[in-house]
Homo-oligomer: A and B are copies of this chain.
């Protein structure tokens, strides 16, 4: 059993963060997880930085009511825009999805050309480029970024490998191919579900799954190695709205059966002053 029995908190604007939770649960099957999907206000990717910070603080405040020992921000937009704010207001470790993937990309690239794809807000924040630069160890790395706003609706439509998805992906990735990238950061938690299409269009390019990297980072922060699976990991699922698509898609993202989520209201929560 974990030495600290408190749960690990995970939040996302909606369902995508379950692809991060999937890797956390795989590496840390003895832990208990509390997941909050802010489905009443999804998506964050086209909202202002101020609004994303407010919503993220409310999500973190909800997780803290569950006495979590760590918060994983399983949303690229929130990681890009709200991570610093959360870290300054919360006393437990806060892990985002951007830094771990940026480090992995900087270490893995051979030719120094790294592609980054994500939502419009994530790409506009330039967070991946700045973070990759920080992990470059003085090596010259070229980051080629491209927002791919249609990928999330295509995944949520279930068109994971349709002709339209291929056409959209070819259009989005053409400039990155022209730039000669050998590594591509999937800077959105929905994108790993497009793996088949992306691999077909980008043969030989290493795909970096930000959720997998964040889970490895959680191990490092918890100072533990991968745990032996003793039972199915305990996962408590919360949402801010019961949306028809959630349960249908959740299983696909998480890779295992899920219970019906419990609906909660977080709009009026604020991070408590005693932990600022």
Contacts and interface: CB of A to CB of B under 8 A. Distances in A.
Interface of A: 39-42, 46-48, 51, 120-121, 124, 149-150, 152-154, 156-157, 159, 162-164, 167-168, 171, 241-245, 267
Nearest to A40: B51
Contacts of A121: 244
A159 B121 CA distance: 19
A154 B163 contact: no
B164 A153 contact: no
A124 B159 CA distance: 20
Contacts of A168: 164
B150 A120 contact: no
A243 B149 contact: no
The copy count of this chain in the complex is 2
Nearest to A168: B164
Contacts of A242: 48
A158 to B, nearest CB: 10
B153 A47 contact: no
Contact of A164 (B41, B171, B243): B171
A150 B245 CA distance: 15
Nearest to A169: B164
A124 B48 contact: no
Contact of A47 (B46, B159, B241): B241
A242 B46 CA distance: 10
Contact of A46 (B124, B150, B171, B245): B245
Contacts of A150: 150, 153-154, 157, 159, 164
Among all A-B residue pairs, the 10 with the closest Cβ atoms: A153-B153, A164-B167, A51-B241, A164-B168, A48-B242, A48-B241, A150-B153, A47-B241, A40-B51, A149-B157
